Amino acid sequence: MMTGLASPRANPWIGAIAPYTPGEAKLASGVQPIKLSANENPWGPSPVAIEVIRAHAHGVNRYPDGAATRLRQRLAFLHGLDPERIVVGTGSDEILQLLPLIYCAAGDSVVHVRHGFMVYPIAARRAGAEPLAAPDQDYVADVDAILATVRADTRLVYLANPNNPTGTMIARAEVARLHAGLRPDVLLVVDQAYAEYLDDPDPDGALELARHAPNVVVTRTFSKIYGLGGLRVGWGTGPAAVIEALNRVRTPFPTATVALAAAEAAIADQEWVARCREANRNERARLAAAIDALQDHGLRAVPSAANFVLMTCPEHGPLSATAIKAGLEANGILVRHLPSQGLPHALRISVGTHEDTSRLIACLNRLAA
Ligand SMILES: Cc1ncc(COP(=O)(O)O)c(C=O)c1O
């Protein structure tokens, strides 16, 4: 073996990345868990999409349409957008991750909220940029704090609305105020991964901003209400120049043929989406009420607009976040603990089916008894 030679060296900012940790999917016992740790759709995708997935098993020797032409046309029709100003990615994650690579130079900064989506600081650091966390107020994004965090070298601001892991949302007027308060050279990225859980097709007005403003991008996903997280399809829309830049740097074939076909079928079945929205609302309300019924024990449900609830817990004792997580796990239920995101005292619980929720509530009540 040769020694003393230089070895490949990663860029110094790569070492500062805390790798993304997905929600746990397995129990130590090997028993099939009730998985409430990754904000997935517990009812699954539209049955039509499942049929389409089966039908597309043949033909996978051919490359997919890298431009996702038909899916973009359908998305444009559904949302009243220009298909030329839509880009489809390997999940919305791909688009979220590419934007700082396009708009930041090493040493620039990117702003996100304190208790925000774990991908944003990763995406910033990947580009050599510094992620800056703006404080929130009782787990709700604070527009004034975000604007105060923006520096001269800030190139991009991420806002998930509804936000993960808090489930909270800011209103249309607040998003407009945030946009109005940013310099025009700062890109505002509104991540609407959970927007379909609300009745309004553009619940915070960000899609409308993305239609007209030169510095607003909206991302959406098929991983949440559409129930296709395993197929990795997401999309973004915004100014022509941003979409053009994304098309230059995205992977040539971001999504698989089967995934594209399933996504097309899923958006055609809005009846299924409406049923999932309604079921989510009902189960989320049950879950939140059951948590709030234990407020004398120190538990609280942060009001959520998404498909999960952040439950805050006492710092110590038998109902601390760690103790409840372990207690739920012993009963076959997986939830998410996010101490690395400043939430050692909270658990994020995805909304499950009626039966999942009943099991979870019964278990919580037993732990509190
Ligand atoms: C706020 C937010 N944005 C984006 C994503 C990523 O979605 P995708 O599966 O489309 O990459 C998630 C997934 O949990 C999320 O919570």
Q: Could you say which of 231, 252, 268 is where a domain stops?
A: 268
| Model pLDDT, residue 3 | 64
Average pLDDT, integer, range 128-154: 98
Q: Could you say which of 204, 239, 268 is where a domain stops?
A: 268
Alpha-carbon gap, residue 317 to 313, rounded angstroms? 10
Domain co-membership, 233 together with 309: no
Residue 164 Cα, ligand 1 centroid: separation in angstroms? 8
Q: 15 lies in a domain? A: no
Domain co-membership, 32 together with 53: no
Among 198, 258, 250, smallest CA distance to 232 is for 258
Q: 166 lies in a domain? A: yes
Domain co-membership, 255 together with 309: no
Question: Ligand 1: does its nearest atom lie under 6 Å from the Cβ of 191?
Answer: yes
Q: 103 lies in a domain? A: yes
Residue 200: how many CA atoms within 13 Å on its side-chain side?
A: 12
Q: How confident is the model at residue 22 (pLDDT cuts 50, 70, 90)?
A: confident
What's the number of domains the chain is made of? 2
Question: Ligand 1: does its nearest atom lie under 6 Å from the Cβ of 229?
Answer: yes
Residue 232 Cα, ligand 1 centroid: separation in angstroms? 10
Alpha-carbon gap, residue 274 to 254, rounded angstroms? 28
pLDDT tens digit string along 239-285?
999 999 999 999 999 999 999 999 999 999 999 999 999 999 999 99
CB 218 within 8 Å of CB 210: yes
Question: Ligand 1: does its nearest atom lie under 6 Å from the Cβ of 92?
Answer: yes
What is the dihedral sign for C-alpha 265, 266, 268, 271? positive
Domain co-membership, 54 together with 121: yes
Q: 107 lies in a domain? A: yes
Q: 276 lies in a domain? A: yes
Q: Could you say which of 227, 250, 268 is where a domain stops?
A: 268
**Between 3 and 134, the higher pLDDT residue:** 134
Task: Read off φ and ψ for residue 193, nearest 5 degrees.
Answer: -55, -30
Domain co-membership, 76 together with 221: yes
**Coil, strand or helix: which one is 279?**
helix
Range of the domain at 317: 22-44+271-368
Q: 134 lies in a domain? A: yes
Average pLDDT, integer, range 175-183: 98
Alpha helices for the chain (secondary structure H): 47-55, 69-79, 91-103, 119-126, 143-149, 172-181, 206-212, 240-249, 257-268, 270-292, 321-330, 354-368
Q: What is the CATH number of the domain that holds 222?
A: 3.40.640.10
Please state the atom number of ligand 1 nearest to the C-alpha of residue 92.
Answer: 10
Residue 199 Cα, ligand 1 centroid: separation in angstroms? 20
Q: Which amino acid is at 3?
A: T
Domain co-membership, 258 together with 291: no
CB 130 within 8 Å of CB 108: yes
Q: What is the CATH number of the domain that holds 355?
A: 3.90.1150.10
Structure tokens at 161: 């609305």
233: left (phi over 0), alpha (psi -120 to 50) or beta: beta
Domain co-membership, 161 together with 259: yes
Domain co-membership, 223 together with 293: no
For the chain, the average pLDDT equals 96
Domain co-membership, 182 together with 261: yes
Residue 193 Cα, ligand 1 centroid: separation in angstroms? 6
Question: Ligand 1: does its nearest atom lie under 6 Å from the Cβ of 192?
Answer: no
pLDDT tens digit string along 44-75?
999 999 999 999 988 889 999 999 999 999 99
Domain co-membership, 255 together with 307: no
How many other β-carbons are positioned within 10 Å of the β-carbon of residue 279? 17
Q: 261 lies in a domain? A: yes
Domain co-membership, 167 together with 227: yes
Q: 163 lies in a domain? A: yes
Least confident of 18-22, 61-65, 364-368: 18-22
Structure tokens at 256: 């698989």
Domain co-membership, 309 together with 252: no
